[in-house]
Amino acid sequence: MARIAILLSDRCHPKECQWECQAYCPPVRMGQECIVEGPNGKPIISETLCIGCGICVHKCPFDAIKILNTPEADETEIVHRYGYNGFRLYRLPLPPRTGITGLLGPNGTGKSTALRVLAGTEVPNLGHFEAPGQWAAVLERYRGTQLHDHFRRIERGQLSVASKPQYVDWISEEPVTATEYVGASGADPRPILTEVGLETKADRRLAELSGGELQLVSIARTLSTPADLYLFDEPSSYLDIVHRLAIARLLRRLGESKSVVVVEHDLALLDYLADTAHLVYGEEAAFGVISHPLPMRTAINTYLTGYLKDENVRFRTEPVQFVAHPPKLSHRGSPLVTFGALSKRYEGFHLTVEPGELSKGETVGIVGPNATGKTTFVKMLAGVEPPTEGATPAGVKVSYKPQYLKATSSASLRERLEVLRADPTFDASLFERDLVPGLRLDGLLDVALTDLSGGELQRAAVALALAHPATLYLLDEPSAYLDADERMAVAKLIRRQIERQAATALVVDHDVYFLDLASDALMVFGHPGGDHAVGAGAGPFAMREGMNRLLREVEVTFRRDAETLRPRINREGSVLDREQRAKGEYYYEAAG
Ligand code: ADP
Ligand code: ADP
Ligand code: MG
Ligand code: MG
């Protein structure tokens, strides 16, 4: 077991503190050089002199230090290490000969790093961070293993790799159209743009595309690049359910003849896409260990139950539990919030929503493709956007988490909390007691909101929204930027809060597992007649009917896993798929 000391460099501001880490360090006070100033003016924490007392962790005013043990992996298995007090990755995934392998694990545990190492864009330093990695050393390390051949071909330039990077927003700065960007791979861009559903946007400049459209462009370019190995880092981000399923089919087709590795947090999608998966475990920004490959069904079931037997690793204390609804429709609670027909007219878009009723204690998911008016509907109920026709319910106390989050103040969450304590509409004790541990915010309390990552900001925003006691909670895409674990945690906290407050919630999301765990009923949005200038919303419906309405459009059926009761996408044309379609049961309730 090794002790590791991590300095989160972005959070460390050595000019704005009193060097509390050093001042209070017991070995330093005994005259040992356990924490010294490094060449960049930031502390270096000696892992050999550190006694693991954790005082520096608590004293740092910016939550910039982590001290922990790596029980699971051996130092000889380090693949890559970013600096002395930096993140370290243990072991690598193995790209399949053909087919798709997935990487499933928390944020900040090295999944993107592993893909860059496989692609050869990051030469792994095998832990020797002082100098850049050398292929000769890498080949020596992997001699006699299956990765040896992989790296030898990479080194010789004999293995071509096409990658879809995690962050697609960056490509919007390239001054080209979608057609030009995809065509740069050498192939005719039109067929693939049509396949991903972008034919009408082909001539748009990248700067004019939405996040979802940039994702599709980036996937299209990767798919049309001739290569031996394809790497997709979080392909579902920003995509709606319809596009997630469409992309899944395209990737499966690619996997029939090519080697593909995919990092993905949407479990329904990953389950359908990949044949095998490596679980990744560790500690965010500190270390990550990549497990041996498991068959897909086992991988997700292991992930949900939380214990990896082969490697004696526990991911979570409580298993994630699904239930085979049919839920409460027969005994839906008493109506708590009722809304009449609503409509909103924008230049070029007209939304109509049928009247509906939200019951006490009920969480209602909102599903539908992008640009069908889900956010507009939620904004009308939040009182942020007035309806063109119809009236929103008056006198209902609302707590709202918008879809797009932007930190505008460099205050920390703790500072925000101090202000909110005086606010009678905020429950500070709920926040501290339940939401801080439930969403792992303890390590973030002293970080400037502007320094938080997308996922960290999302967790903070969800916690703040849930800590405002309300009758109606409106959460717009809370799973965006979250890893699978965090999604499950958010689903659970939403349910708990709704029950506790005898309140009701509307939750817009695209992740089927998240929706299945969080919601009792569904509202479904769409473009009637396929006309993108109109949007229509209806419901709430019981889960089964809501899913049927949604899935009928995309011709995808789900069954339930016998062991965990989680929904699983049926293979297209399989016996179950054909039977369920014939019966119109797209979201099958019984286990099987
Ligand atoms: P994941 O994709 O699983 O979220 P990443 O591979 O992106 O994780 O990063 C793992 C950790 O490695 C990050 O939390 C970050 O602290 C660190 N890291 C990533 N890239 C670099 C880099 N270029 N330099 C230093 N540290 C890095
Ligand atoms: P969703 O949340 O389902 O993706 P939105 O409610 O965000 O959809 O948007 C629905 C449609 O309304 C989109 O075509 C969008 O461009 C348009 N829209 C949204 N807000 C405005 C606005 N303030 N002005 C003009 N058009 C808007
Ligand atoms: Mg990543
Ligand atoms: Mg929206």
Q: What is the 3-state secondary structure (H, E, C) of 490-521?
A: HHHHHHHHHHHHCCEEEEECCCHHHHHHHCCE
**Long-range contacts: 12-17, Cβ < 8 Å, 24+?**
12/42, 12/43, 12/60, 12/62, 12/64, 12/65, 13/62, 13/64, 14/41, 14/42, 14/43, 15/41, 16/61, 16/62, 17/60, 17/61, 17/62
- Name residues contacting ligand 2 (CB within 6 A): 346-347, 349, 370-376, 525, 535
What are the tens digits of pLDDT across the range 133-147?
Answer: 999 999 999 999 999
110 Cβ below 6 A of ligand 1: yes
285 Cβ below 6 A of ligand 1: yes
Domain 337-541 in CATH 3.40.50.2000? The answer is: no
Which pLDDT belongs to residue 325? Answer: 66
Q: Are 483 and 107 in contact (CB under 8 A)?
A: yes
Q: Which of the ligands is closest to the CA of residue 347? A: 2
Domain ranges in the chain with CATH number 3.30.70.20 = 2-70
Which pLDDT belongs to residue 314? Answer: 84
150 Cβ below 6 A of ligand 1: no
Terminal CA-CA length for the chain: 42
Residues with CB under 5 A from ligand 4 (ion): 374-375, 403
- Ligand 3 centre and the CA of 223: distance in Å? 20
- Ligand 2 centre and the CA of 565: distance in Å? 36
Residue in 486, 496, 484, 494 with CA at minimum distance from that of residue 457: 486
Q: Which of the ligands is closest to the CA of residue 240? A: 2
Tokens of 155: 């080194």
**Given the DSSP bridges, would you call strands 472-476 and 587-591 parallel, antiparallel or unpaired?**
unpaired
Q: Which of the ligands is closest to the CA of residue 117? A: 1
106 Cβ below 6 A of ligand 1: no
DSSP SS3 for 414 = helix
Q: Are 319 and 308 in contact (CB under 8 A)?
A: no
Q: Which of the ligands is closest to the CA of residue 278? A: 1
- Ligand 2 centre and the CA of 366: distance in Å? 15
- Ligand 3 centre and the CA of 169: distance in Å? 14
Q: Which ranges of the chain have pLDDT less than 50?
A: 329-330, 591-592
What are the tens digits of pLDDT across the range 34-84?
Answer: 999 999 999 999 999 999 999 999 999 999 999 988 766 788 899 999 999
Which pLDDT belongs to residue 591? Answer: 43
- Ligand 4 centre and the CA of 210: distance in Å? 11
Contacts of 13 (CB under 8 A, 6+ apart): 62, 64
Fold of 2-70: Alpha-Beta Plaits (3.30.70)
Which pLDDT belongs to residue 590? Answer: 55
Q: Residue 461: which H helix or E strand, with range?
A: helix 454-466
Domain ranges in the chain with CATH number 3.40.50.300 = 337-541
